[in-house]
Structures are given as C-alpha cells and as structure tokens.
Amino acid sequence: MFTWIGRHKGYPGRIAREGREGTALVRLLIDEHGRLERAELARSSGHAALDALALEQIREAVPYPRPPRGLSSSQRGFLVPMTYRLDG
C-alpha cells in the first residue's frame, strides 16, 4: 500500500519554494475492489497546502491494489503518513 501511494506522490515546486515541510497523517478506507471509500485528514502537517496535497495524492492513487478477499472494512483501513521534506 505505501509503495503504491509513493508512486503517486510528488512535491510541487510551488510548495517546495515556500519551504513547506511536514507530515500529514491520512486515514483511508478502500473497498474490496481497491476503490477509495473514504480519505480524511487524521493529523495536520501544520500547513494547509501540504494537508490538501496529501489528500489529493491519496485520491489520485486510485485504484489501489485489491486487498485479500474476506477482509472486514476495519482491516481495509489504513493510516498513511504523507511526509514532505526539502532535500538539502
């Protein structure tokens, strides 16, 4: 799941130029087909732009890989840290 999301994650130049860094914690729930049922901010990064970016990138990663059959909805829920850091 985290690798899949990482493929859809980026750090737009506009936000990087502003020097924004932080980790937004996103709670998401996928259905049995890998579709996103819900995505919400569980903890803010401290920057509205990063929080919005994290939710946007979680939504853009759809469809997710199908979870194993027979999992309950609570087992298809994840807390995903979306960390944005400037290099150097």
Please, which pLDDT band fits residue 8 given cuts at 50, 70 and 90? confident
CA distances from 63 to 37, 51, 59, 86 (A): 11, 21, 9, 28
- For residue range 37-60, what is the model confidence (pLDDT) as tens digits? 999 999 999 999 999 999 999 999
- For residue range 14-39, what is the model confidence (pLDDT) as tens digits? 887 888 899 999 999 999 999 999 99
If you ran DSSP here, which 8-state letter would residue 47 be given? Answer: -
Please, which pLDDT band fits residue 88 given cuts at 50, 70 and 90? very low
